[in-house]
Chain A
């Protein structure tokens, strides 16, 4: 049973466009929802995270939108740049349980 489902598997966006990656979860006990960015040959790095008490969080060009009733959250990358080309993972965990559950990832390619 996949607890965190991510889509699409891959995404191609023109430079300057908006990249949108979606994630759905099943466990209502989850209360921490991070997004990680991973470049080839490197480990994942935390990009931005949200807790369910807010519906949106913005940091620079990156925004998480969170819909608790639908058990969905998404990552929006505004003004996408070639340097944003990477694999993005949504994830979830329970407060106090540091076992983070990852989605399968989205390979994002920004065309120059």
Chain B
């Protein structure tokens, strides 16, 4: 596609439920990033992939959060036992490769609301 695509655009769930958020990067981009943006705050780094492997997952807040990118393209962010504090916009971004931050493009995000 022309840009980074994230689905769903909105997700409402109940506390304790499991959710999956999907990111489809720009075609040919090998690096993929997940960020979380709370209301009124800047994006906060969660994890990034180079190809299929997680190059840096130091931003994942706890073991309820997990992300995969099995074929080096689409990525899924998985959140188990959701909590109200997980409510935020989850942003995905991609770039042609590591070290090409000037070519980093963000999707429009998934607004997650945990009731």
Question: Interface residue count for A (Cβ, 8 Å)?
Answer: 25
Q: Is the CB of B43 within 8 A of A44?
A: yes
Given known contacts A32-B101, A104-B42, is B59 in contact with A43 (CB within 8 Å)?
no
Q: Is the CB of A46 within 8 A of B102?
A: yes
Give the CA-CA distance A49 to B104 in the complex, in Å: 12
Q: Is the CB of A102 within 8 A of B44?
A: yes
A-contacting residues of B (Cβ < 8 Å)? 4, 31, 33, 40-45, 48, 55-56, 58-59, 91, 93, 95, 98-99, 101-102, 104-109
A to B CB contacts below 8 Å, 30 in the list? A6-B42, A42-B108, A43-B91, A43-B108, A44-B91, A45-B105, A45-B106, A46-B102, A49-B102, A89-B42, A89-B43, A91-B42, A95-B99, A96-B99, A97-B56, A98-B48, A98-B55, A98-B56, A98-B98, A98-B99, A98-B101, A98-B104, A99-B48, A99-B58, A99-B59, A100-B45, A100-B101, A101-B45, A104-B41, A104-B42
